Amino acid sequence: MAIFEGAGVALVTPMREDGSINYEKLREIVEFQIAGGTDAIVVCGTTGEASAMTHEEHIETVRFVCEVTNHRIPVIAGTGSNWTETAIYLSKEAEAAGADGLLLVSPYYNKATQKGLIAHFTAVAEAVSLPILLYNIPGRTGVNIAPQTIAALCRNVKNIVGVKEASGNFSNIATLMSLAGDCVDLYSGNDDQIVPLLALGGKGVISVLSNVAPQKAHDICANYFAGNVKESCRLQLEAIPLVTELFSEVNPIPVKAALNLMGMEAGPLRLPLTEMEPEHQAKLKKAMEDYGLI
């Protein structure tokens, strides 16, 4: 059984002006997501600025979100690292904190071989009992998890159950699904590609768009699963101008700006990320107005 089906939000981490985590606003954002129909929460991923957190902050944020969510929807914790021992540590701590699943990005910078990826992910999986989604995003990590590698891991490691695919390479994704069949739970990592990935057998999306429009992202998936493919496609295409602006600068710069425009007080970013350029923010604001968010 999949960890979730539909639209899971790649949750931002709100910050105060001094750079500390704003747990009061984080609680509000989690409640906004649940009320808006989000199907799962992915905490401490790329969008959550996990790479700019201390380990203590990372674990406390996972614990806090699990407590606030209180089993109403699944919580998936990002616990990947480029050092296997760190990924094991974070994964164990996330399991103890109450997470329902884990998201493991491929090791960045090291650029492991496919053999190394198999060894890395297997070692982390064997250290915990939670279901695990791999995260393939070669544009950030510098390495692609090959379809054959994903299929082998999902087939041979009992708690590696699927993948968040953000490569944008539909030939590789189709190859994966032809190899893996029912043993891989596939999720889109790109908000502009939800419907085509669902057509290849996807279970849903792990979404940046969901931060600002949780119901719309949910509805794209729900309509597809209900057989309303035309309506799902319409909603997908309607979202494209906003999605384009949400990725006009590196994620999560634009989505934090969008939440601030909505009065959600997501706050600033941690260096090395900086605030959105004014000309990009103006385009983002226009796209949000056209989409009915502000």
Tokens 């701590």, located at residue: 93
What the block records as the tokens of 134 is 């791999």
* Ordered DSSP codes for 99-164: -SEEEEEPPTTT---HHHHHHHHHHHHHT--S-EEEEE-HHHHS----HHHHHHHHHHSTTEEEEE
User: How many angstroms separate the CA atoms of 51 and 262, rounded?
Assistant: 25
Amino acid code (one letter) for 86: T
Provide Rg for the chain, Cα atoms. Answer: 18
Give the bridge partners for 103, in sequence order: 78, 133
User: How many angstroms separate the CA atoms of 61 and 43, rounded?
Assistant: 8
Annotated catalytic residues are: 135, 164
Diameter of the chain measured on Cα atoms: 49
